[in-house]
Structures are given as C-alpha cells and as structure tokens.
Amino acid sequence: MHASASPRSAVVAAALELFQSQGFEQTSVEQIAKAAGVSRSTFFRQFGGKEDVVFADHEVLLERLRDFLAEGHDDPWEAVCAASESVYSYFADDPDLARRRYQIVRRVPALRDREIVTVFRYERLFDEYLRRSLPGIDPLDAVGFAALVTAVHNHVLRQLLRGRKKVPLSTLQTALLDVRRRYGVLEEETAQSSDDVVVAVFPRSMPIAEITRRLRTRLD
C-alpha cells in the first residue's frame, strides 16, 4: 500500500516535506494544513499534534499487525517474523518518504525518544501474542524472541533508511530465519511413528511450549 493513498497520508507527506525543508520546530500546524489543503480543525481531528504526524504510519501498522496476528497462525514464531516483514515492506514500498521521516526524527531529540517508545510497542505486541498463542510458554522466551525480532528488524530497516542503496526484503528474511534458528523453532522436527511409538527429534534450545505445540499438532 502506498503511503499517499489516503487524504490522511497526504497530510503526512506535506508535513514531512515542511519539517525537512524548514525544520520540525519551525513548522506550524497552520502551515501543514495549508500545504495539505485541509482545515486546521481537520488536522486536529486526524492528529493530536505535530509529533503524531511523524508517527502516524506506526499507528496504522500496529493496528494492522494486531489484526494479522489475531487471524490465528499454525506457527506463532513464524507469524511474528511475517508481521515484522510486512512492516518492512510497508516502508520499503516508499523508501523516499521513509528516509525523509528518518532524517527528521534523527534531528529532534524528542522525536528520537518517541521513536524508541514506538518501537517498544511492536516488541510488546509480539511478546503478548506469543504468550497468548503458546500457553505455558516460558515468558523469558516470549520476551526474548520479541526483543530479538524487533532489534533485528530495526537494524535492517535502518540500513535502508540511512543509505541510498536498496536493502531487499530478503536481507531481513535471512536475519529472521537466523533468529528462529537461535530459538530452535526453525528446523522441522522429524517425527517418525510406527504403530505404538513416536520418535521426536528437536533442538535442545527449542522452548518446551513449542515442542508441546508441535507434538500436539502432529499427534492429533
């Protein structure tokens, strides 16, 4: 989905252009509204303030991820990675807009702080989803996996935002496969069964909750 597809996104694009050309602090809501061709009251109906314009996409994305994760997925670990990849694709779809936003955020300490807080919302969403989908999971595994996926995601995204060169989605995908490997939830366990005996092979590092989930799926 292209970022300027909705009128709301048009306001975002106009605001980011002004923030970049004349500075975040120096730009007034009036100027943004005028540039976007909306009234001041429309602006305030859509956004709480100037800061919210910068992070508007994250609200949309978080809501979208919440819906996606709620759909139910066979492999919750894979679903978290797929969610991360969809966020990456969203920004990679319009890298110029994403880079403009990144440049603005970098220059304003309050925006940098808010970005850190925003990133943490993804981490918490993933954490909560894993705990919900894998009852009995060791919370440390949920917390750790969520943090690792989020950190890896942000690192790869930052490469895209900093440079002029393309950073393909596959870079992130490879890194996320590695995260799943570290948690022992990538390799398919080889469960061979005769009539009355089940042999299950899995990495030692795989969380018990995940072993249970896979066994249940196979045996049911």
Interface contacts to a copy of itself, rule CB under 8 A: 113-114, 116-117, 120, 123, 136, 139-140, 143-144, 146-148, 150-152, 154-156, 175, 178-179, 181-183, 193, 195-205, 208, 211-212, 215-216, 219
72, 51 in Cβ contact below 8 A? no
Q: Which C-beta is closer to a copy of itself: that of 71 or that of 196?
A: 196
* Helices 76-93 and 169-182: angle between axes, nearest 10 degrees: 160
State the nearest-atom distance from the C-beta of 85 to a copy of itself, in Å: 15
CB of 8 to a copy of itself, least distance (A): 24
Give the nearer residue to a copy of itself in terms of CB position, either 7 or 139: 139
The two tokens of residue 58 are 């994250």
Do 3 and 13 meet the contact criterion of CB atoms below 8 Å apart?
yes
Minimum CB separation from a copy of itself for residue 42, in Å? 27
Nearest approach, Cβ of 154 to a copy of itself (angstroms)?
A: 8
Distance CA 150, CA 20 (A): 27
**DSSP H or E stretch at residue 89:** helix 76-93
- Single-letter amino acid code for the residue at 203: P
**Cβ-based nearer residue to a copy of itself, 1 or 199:** 199
Residue 192, SS3 per DSSP: strand
- Kindly report the number of other CB atoms within 10 A of residue 211's CB atom: 16
**Non-local CB neighbours of 2 within 8 Å, separated by 6+ positions:** 93, 94
CB of 79 to a copy of itself, least distance (A): 19
Toward a copy of itself, which CB reaches closer, 2 or 218?
Answer: 218
Q: Which is nearer to a copy of itself, 9 or 133 (CB)?
A: 133
